[in-house]
Amino acid sequence: MTRKIKFGVDEYYHVYNRGVEKRKIFLDKADREHFVRLLFISNSTKSFEYRNIKKLLFEDIERGEPLVAIGAYCLMPNHFHLLLREIVPGGISIFMGKFLTAYSMYFNKKYERKGRLFENTFQAQYVDNDNYLKYLFAYIHLNPIKLIEPDWKEKGIKDKKAALKYLNEYKYSSYLEYTGVDREESNILSRNIFPEYFEQTQDFSEFINDWLTFQKENGITL
């Protein structure tokens, strides 16, 4: 399958993929935690053996130079979203190749299955303007709301308070980093490589609140 866009250094991309036939790619907590660790470990010019570093803290892993800068991420039951900036030539393709191969091998071994786990190659959209880039911080981080309100994007939020509570309890995205939570997953992000849209945590909170209010009042697809 030929990719419609070419990646370039210092350019931004929304990268995503889902399970083949829309199957779930995360079946338990351990799967999600493994995937999140691979986001950090695979973003390296060095090769690695997961078994040698799986018990190390992120900050103790010597991974070499990163291939991409990650600005945001979110895991959903059958797909994931990443906001990436390529920082070395070929960085996104190398990172995604290492990352998806490592997770597929883990998943197939654990569940005694064979064959492709993800749909073809990963998908990517070029972020060609500042408004689109900022919008993606809302789009990616608000995805988990679909788990409690499946049609919220089409019909608007029914319970904004419940939605915010769910987002603040959802561990498998970078949302918590932008709200000021200090955890080791913060090492996955390279926030300094992205525009400073949210210099204070309050800026991000207001940004998210504005989107949820807009959806509640208008029911317009995010």
What per-residue string of b and e applies to 88-120 under the rule 16 or more CB within 10 Å gives b?
A: eeebbbbbbebbbebbbebbeeeeeeeeebbbe
Kind of pairing, strands 79-86 and 123-127? unpaired
Residues 6+ apart with CB under 8 A from 109: none
Domains contained in the chain, CATH given: 12-218 (3.30.70.1290)
Over 90: is that where the pLDDT of 63 sits?
Answer: no
* Phi, psi (deg, nearest 5) at residue 196: -85, 70
Among 3-17, 44-58, 128-142, name the most confident range.
128-142
Q: Are the C-beta atoms of 188 and 73 separated by less than 8 Å?
A: yes
pLDDT at 103: 95
Q: Give the pLDDT score at 59.
A: 77
3-state DSSP assignment of residue 85: strand
Question: Confidence band (pLDDT; 50, 70, 90) for 57?
Answer: confident
Residue 1 has pLDDT above 70, yes or no: no
- Stretch 73-82: mean pLDDT: 98
Specify the residue for token string 């500042």.
130
Is the model more confident about 215 or about 78? 78
pLDDT in tens, 161-218: 999 999 999 999 999 999 999 999 999 999 999 999 998 999 999 999 988 887 655 5
pLDDT per residue as tens digits for the range 96-123: 999 999 999 999 999 999 999 998 789 9
What's the N-to-C CA distance of the chain in angstroms?
28
pLDDT of residue 17 exceeding 80, the answer is: yes
H/E segment holding residue 125: strand 123-127
